[in-house]
Amino acid sequence: MAIALYIRKDYFRGVTLSDKSAHILEFHYQGENVDVFEDGAPVFHLQYFLETKFKAEIIDFYVTDIRLRGKGYGSVCMIEILDQLSRKGVTLIRAPLGYKLAPVGYEGPAQYEVLMAGFYEKTGFSITGDEDAAIQILG
């Protein structure tokens, strides 16, 4: 059973990254996928699953170009996407902290889980008691 959640398909948003530089990002929502572009080049991708109209789980997300990691793109994109989901009535977001294999560029799953926990906490999530997931209640 598919749950419909209508978010405006494409829109632009001005953001400021961690180095205080201003950028115009273009957000594209298609189903349960969000792709973000800057000057036509992809910078961020997020896939989520809507369990109910009010509860979503992040399946995967990443900054597309490894050279852009650590500059703030992930944080500003995640915060914007969570804001859009909140506006549509989603009240709970859950996300895994890691995967069995770490993505390219990381030493291993343990290093990646620590990095992900820090990222999620920075973007408003809380780490669950068993430390295997991050949860955020949207207002």
In the chain, where the domains are located = 10-137
Per-residue buried b or exposed e for 92-123, using 16+ beta carbons within 10 Å of the residue's own CB: ebbbebbeeebeeeeeeeeebbebbbebbeeb
CATH number (3.40.50.2300, 3.40.630.30, 3.90.870.10, 3.30.70.1290) of 10-137 reads 3.40.630.30
In angstroms and rounded to an integer, the radius of gyration of the C-alpha atoms of the chain is: 15
pLDDT confidence band for 35 (50 / 70 / 90): very high
pLDDT in tens, 118-134: 899 999 999 987 777 89
* Structure confidence at residue 6 (pLDDT): 63
